[in-house]
Amino acid sequence: MTATMTDRSTSASPAQRLRQDAAAVRISFTWFGVRKTLTQEQRNQAAESFGAESDFLSARKKLLDTKHPAYKDVTAVRGKMLAYHKSVSLPYPEPGVRLIRRDRLDAFQHQMEDFKEELQDAVERLQQRYDELKDSARQRLGHLFSHDDYPASLEGLFAVERDFPNVEPPGYLMQLSPELFEQEKARVAGRFQEAVQMAEQAFLGEFSRLISHLTERLSGSPGGEKKVFRDSAIANLVEFFDRFKDLSVGSNQQLEEMVGRAQRLVQGVEASELRTDDKLRQQIAMQLSRVQSSLDGMLVDQPRRRIIRNNPVEEA
């Protein structure tokens, strides 16, 4: 049986279990900027055409066609990396940092290496169309086009890196100042407590959205007509169950019970059955609506998370 974060010690608090079993991981991107602010002279010209003052005008030009299939392939890989990073980890109250189970680090490393190769292949294909994209930009930008805006090659301009920042108090601090070391221990403990709250709120919000969407799809319209029901409405919920079981630190018994209840309701149910069996459809819709009512009450009772303002850097 696969171990979860709640298995190691039932006496430890959720924050302590999370701290024992998780490692901090961060991914960051190097990304060629495809938009550039107009020069002062260009802003002056644009402002003049509108009868405006240039200091009150902000304008940028697009260097590459971001809708081109070759460019979209590159950004799609980035999207997959971010989605994967989020799916296997929990939030942490530092920008860009998330917590991943330590026994999943090898799998994470292998998957990120695969993504890096996929990104490299996509960038190579984009490079092959680079001259074509610049020619298109020259035609579309007119006098705003400048060769100086374009590097000779895209090599090294699209990349991803990962690191594992230390979120624990540094050991040397104990020698330098035991008092400061204890203060750092307390601060880190508070961070992990906040991480537990963030994870709980994230799970609760996602679960509520999935249940609400499925219930809405199962319920008939006011005219009695069936609504479009796609397989993903069930598949996304089943995927959530698996991720919740894998990553939950057992911080909210009521949420655990609601997830288990919903899982039992849809267990073994196929989307095709719900499309054809009106009785089953109505039965599950009614039971899920009760789950949704309980979740709505939990959302109202959720405390607002303290906002961290120590570091204004945005997550990639």
Q: What would the pLDDT profile of 171-206 be if each residue is shown by its tens digit?
A: 898 889 999 999 999 999 999 999 999 999 999 999
Structure tokens belonging to residue 53: 């003052």
- Three-state secondary-structure class, residue 27: strand
286 CB-near residues (< 8 Å, 6+ apart): none
- Does residue 313 surpass a pLDDT of 50? no
- Does residue 85 surpass a pLDDT of 70? yes
With cut-offs at 50, 70 and 90, classify the pLDDT of residue 3.
Answer: low
With cut-offs at 50, 70 and 90, classify the pLDDT of residue 4.
Answer: low
- CA-nearest of 217, 219, 218, 211 to 238 is 211
Q: Where are the beta strands (DSSP E) in 95-239?
A: 97-101, 158-163
Could you give the CA distance from residue 89 to residue 25 in angstroms, rounded to a whole number? 9
Could you give the CA distance from residue 267 to residue 231 in angstroms, rounded to a whole number? 14
With cut-offs at 50, 70 and 90, classify the pLDDT of residue 306.
Answer: very low
At 232-271, the pLDDT tens digits run 888 999 999 999 999 999 999 999 999 999 999 999 888 8
Q: What is the pLDDT of residue 311?
A: 39
Instruction: Give me the phi and psi of 31, to 5 degrees please.
Output: -140, 125
- Does residue 114 surpass a pLDDT of 70? yes
This prediction's pTM: 0.83
**CB-count burial class (<10 Å; 0-12, 13-18, 19+) for 122:** buried
- Three-state secondary-structure class, residue 164: coil
- Does residue 216 surpass a pLDDT of 80? yes
